[in-house]
Amino acid sequence: MLLQSLLPHTRRIVSRFFQRRVSLLLVIPVLASIFLVSFSSEHVTVPKDIVINEVMTSNASFAPDSDGDHPDWIELWNPTSNPLSLENYQLVHDEIDRWTFPSLTLQPNQYLVVYASGKNRTTGELHTNFLLSRNGEPVELHRPSGVDRFDIPQLPSNSSFGRQLGTPSDLCHFAYPTPGAQNVSECFEDATLGAPTLSHSSGFYDQAFALEVDVPDPSRTLYYTLDGSFPDPVLNPVQTKKYTEPINISALPEITGPLSQIDTTITDPAMRYSEIFRNAPRASTQIQPAVTVRIRSLYSEEATATFFIGRQHTQTLPVVSLLLNPAHLFDDETGIYVAGNIYKKWRNSDQFDPNYGWSTPANYSATGRAWERPHAQNPFDSVRFQYCTAVNCESPISIGIRTHGNASLINPMRSLRLYARNDYKTSGFTSDFFGQQYSGWSTLVLRNGGNNQRGMTDRFHFNDMFFQSAMKDFAATTQLFQPVNVYINGEYWGIHALGERYDEQFIAVKYGVNKNNVAIVDLNEPTTGPSDVMSHWESLVTQAETLSPTSMHQKNIESSMDVTSFFDYIIGHTYAGNTDWPANNTMMWRSLRTDTSTQSLMDDQRWRWMIVDLDRIGASNDDPDVTTTALLTRIGPDSQHPQARLLHGLLRFPELRQQFFARYEFHLNTTFSPTRMNNNLNALVAQVGSEMNRHEQRWLPLKPGEDFMTWPQRVQQVREFISQRPAELRKQLLVAQKNW
């Protein structure tokens, strides 16, 4: 009875330590002191010696060691009423590796964590001389009284395997590991970790229905929420309900909110730049939300679903549904989607400047893992991601989110970066979102249109996605995008571009290069590149500028760079007339060493270029100027930017000069031909056009008498640009060929 009475208090302690972002190692001594009680009863057979109690073989975020690492671990337990010495005890791994305990004593009902790190330490923190495999293997505790053997199965990240509370002879899986403390009351037969089963899956429905929920063990109480937040009867008691009968799933009233009514940007009258936001009306109140469900037992994995019921929920575009704790986005202290306390503290400080614009300090512009949600100390309060098409919905997964972008972050609608991590038991995004027969990204973005977004201003919204998609067959690297309708906790959040994000895993997925063999350099932040990599880059630019233009020297240069990738990179940006370049958005990559273990042709240490952020087309975020001279001015021979220096160094070589101008003409005739580009634009309009009215209702509410251009008018501006741009560039190419 004492044990049962302590369980709820233990859970509160764990939850509150998580909530306050305190390391789990600080929780362990507290829990250990609480549970100095005996398990002995006439109904339970208690082991008579120290035993292995719990193991974790894929530790992503639990119990960091003193080095800040997260090794796997083995937990011992003394279930007896007597202190027991560990002298002559050994841990044996896979019947081969042996590690001997130092001289220490385990008190009654005490727990001891031993890190399976390979660091081999026996003073203070204990570390074995071996590692554990996440694929499953045996581990044994050799004692004078005999061997205690654990045959560990394959485990998901951040889950554990151990003794069932109350019946320690039974071994099972835990969704909620407790290193250094008593195991939780619920454990499960397999790696599904007790997730309930729903009678209906996420998707589009014509009629209401009753949602029935099945749980593997009927004795377990189920808790659920309908607002997208994490079901937790202790930390979220208002929204958390107990499941006692089927849940009625029916169309909700066409009333927007409550999240859509939150002021997400800076409307402070003291800030001059914020006038455009202060004078804007709030979002429409007539957009119908979807119905969301999150359900779990106290210590099981959760099941989640989003149901689209009602006339407003179209199936024209795929849907991304995000279910999350609203505090992750909107709390002043922890919310990443609001100006929050970072702005308030700056506003009240000596550094306050009313002339700050997009770089005003705010929660939404904070970076780093500390500003990923959920916080690393509480991976259970996860963000649930689900991708739905008109045909079916993929299985929900747990992810992390951050904001994404720079200047565009000041707008009320923001880009989000999506993270698949082992912390959330999600190793990667495995859906083929873009129809290219590959997947496995560790990060994706939900892009708001960047500086071209149609929110608070009347822009086209799709510049980057549209122009990068046209360049997808370039030798330069481009990102793939898919327009989607986003819902947050069931509330319609507008059209975003679900897209790839440049990182090492992206290179691995797209090109088959080992991600640990990749260096990505952003010349806007050159100090982020390794010194030897940057020296290699600087040497390449110098060689192009100074070597005599002979065939031998050309081959030397070509051995260090993919010339066609570089030429396509220059052509793509100058065709688009991107004036947010090359001072910004200058990215490139190379493999660090030649790797013969892969089949990739990219493992050759040559530099390759990455096209990014084509929001500013025709020197503008709104009305593109077809005559813009980015080719002649942004990358001209007078520019001291490294990319311009490299280009004009290469153009000294007769063969490379001929290749550049021929490549440019090839793309004007094919990639950027007015016929092809207009066909692409027609396809985009057919894809998103019917959704723009609802998107504008959410993000571009107009006041009476305002003269914002309609979206079709903005489409026409883009059409005029792509129809006339090749002819204009041919004129500029003649000037370049004559003067360069």
pLDDT score recorded for residue 310: 86
Instruction: Label residue 219 by pLDDT band (50, 70, 90).
Output: confident
Strand ranges across the sheet with 90-93: 97-100, 90-93, 137-143, 146-152
Say whether pLDDT at 54 is over 50. yes
202 CB-side CA count, 13 A? 30
Rounded to whole angstroms, the Cα distance separating 588 from 526 reads 11
pLDDT the model gives residue 23 = 39
pLDDT at 704: 62
Residue partners of 324: CB distance under 8 A and separation at least 6:
228, 229, 373, 382, 383, 384, 401, 488, 489
Give the model's confidence band at 461: pLDDT under 50 very low, under 70 low, under 90 confident, else very high: very high
Q: For the chain, which domains are there?
A: 2-174 (2.60.40.1260), 194-252+288-313 (2.60.40), 315-501 (no CATH), 509-669+702-739 (no CATH)
Q: What is the 3-state secondary structure (H, E, C) of 617-676?
A: ECCECCCCCCCCCHHHHCCCCCCCCHHHHHHHHHCCCHHHHHHHHHHHHHHHHCCCCHHH
pLDDT at residue 535, rounded to an integer: 94
Beta carbons within 8 Å of 236's beta carbon, 6+ residues apart: 225, 229, 230, 325
CA distance linking residue 222 with residue 244, whole number of Å:
8
* DSSP secondary structure code for residue 255 in this structure: -
pLDDT above 90 (res 228): yes
Distance CA 372, CA 376 (A): 8
Among 280-284, 609-613, 687-691, 717-721, name the one with the lowest average pLDDT.
280-284
Q: What is the pLDDT of residue 25?
A: 36
Write out pLDDT tens, residues 422-448. 999 999 999 999 999 899 999 999 999
Residue 4 CB coordination number (10 Å): 10
Tally the residues of the chain: 740
| Rounded Cα–Cα distance for residues 140 and 161 (Å) | 14
User: In the predicted model, what is the mean pLDDT of the chain?
Assistant: 91
Distance of CA 374 to the CA centre of its chain: 11
pLDDT of residue 274: 87
Is residue 251 pLDDT above 50, yes or no?
yes
Q: Is the peptide bond preceding residue 361 cis, with omega within 30 degrees of 0? A: no
Q: Write down the pLDDT at residue 3.
A: 35
CA 674 distance to own-chain centroid: 36
Q: How far apart are the first and last CA of the chain?
A: 87
pLDDT digits (tens, 9 = 90+) for 682-739: 999 999 999 999 999 999 876 666 778 899 999 999 999 999 999 999 999 999 999 9
Question: Of the candidates 575, 573, 418, 408, which has an alpha carbon nearest to the alpha carbon of residue 499?
Answer: 418
User: Is residue 239 over pLDDT 50?
Assistant: yes
Is a pLDDT exceeding 60 seen at residue 222? yes
Local structure of 211: helix, strand or coil? strand
Answer whether residue 215 shows pLDDT above 90: no
Q: Is the pLDDT of residue 50 over 80?
A: yes
- Write the pLDDT tens digit of every residue in 518-566: 999 998 876 667 889 999 999 999 999 999 999 999 999 999 999 999 9
Residue with more model confidence, 125 or 706: 125
What's residue 646's pLDDT?
Answer: 98
The reported pLDDT for the residue numbered 55 is 98
Q: Residue 19 pLDDT > 60, yes or no?
A: no
Q: Is the pLDDT of residue 24 over 50?
A: no
Q: What would the mean pLDDT of 235-241 be, rounded to a whole number?
A: 96
Q: Checking DSSP bridges between strand 319-323 and strand 481-488, what pairing results, if any?
A: parallel
Instruction: Name which residue leads in pLDDT, 51 or 9.
Output: 51
Q: What pLDDT does 36 receive? A: 32
Q: How confident is the model at residue 526, as a pLDDT?
A: 65
Question: Which residues are registered as beta bridge partners of 385?
Answer: 322, 397
Share of the chain above pLDDT 70, in %: 93
Given pLDDT bands bounded at 50, 70 and 90, which one contains residue 312?
confident
Average pLDDT over residues 655-664: 98
Question: How far, in Å, CA of 15 to CA of 687, rounded?
Answer: 45
- Whether 509 has a pLDDT exceeding 50, the answer reads yes
Query: Nearest Cα to 470, choosing from 678, 191, 265?
Result: 678
Nearest to 91 by CA among 48, 131, 47: 131
- Whether the predicted pLDDT of 5 surpasses 50: no
pLDDT(234) > 50 = yes
- What is the structure's pLDDT at 2? 32
According to the model, what pLDDT value does residue 705 have?
A: 65
Q: 615-658, pLDDT tens digit by residue? A: 999 999 999 999 999 999 999 999 999 999 999 999 999 999 99
**Which of 41-50, 130-139, 420-429, 543-552 bottoms out in mean pLDDT, i.e. has the lowest?**
41-50
Of residues 149, 47, 140, 56, the one with CA closest to residue 99 = 140
